[in-house]
Structure 1
Amino acid sequence: MAKKPVKKSAAKRRQLKATPKKQLAKKVVVKLLRNELRQIRVLLKRHQLKNFAS
């Protein structure tokens, strides 16, 4: 006969439920930051090219 699964406490369950959301939020933030950095780099490159041209 299979062992009865141990019931997790409400707090533990909440924690388990919360973790993926937190990780997702972190991923989104990282993505946004990377996007910002990319844009800044592009702007800098453009700016430098303008400076070289003048």
Structure 2
Amino acid sequence: MRDGLRGFVRFFRDVMGEDAYRKYVSFHRASGCTGPLLSEREFWKDKMDRQDANPAGRCC
């Protein structure tokens, strides 16, 4: 039962985009990027700034 609940919580978080930073870190490491890794706070600020600059990219 716990594994099912954990799976659901992880799925829900993924759908909501909560895993975006984790995916960013994985991609950054795998791609061999030479630039510095953004902190989680910097990542979310940058993401929100880009969404604000392009509001047509959102559904609401």
TM-score, normalised to structure 2, is: 0.30
Which of structures 1 and 2 has the bigger CA Rg? Answer: 1
Bigger relative contact order (CA 8 A; separation at least 6): 2
- Which one has the bigger helix percentage? 1
TM-score, normalised to structure 1, is: 0.33
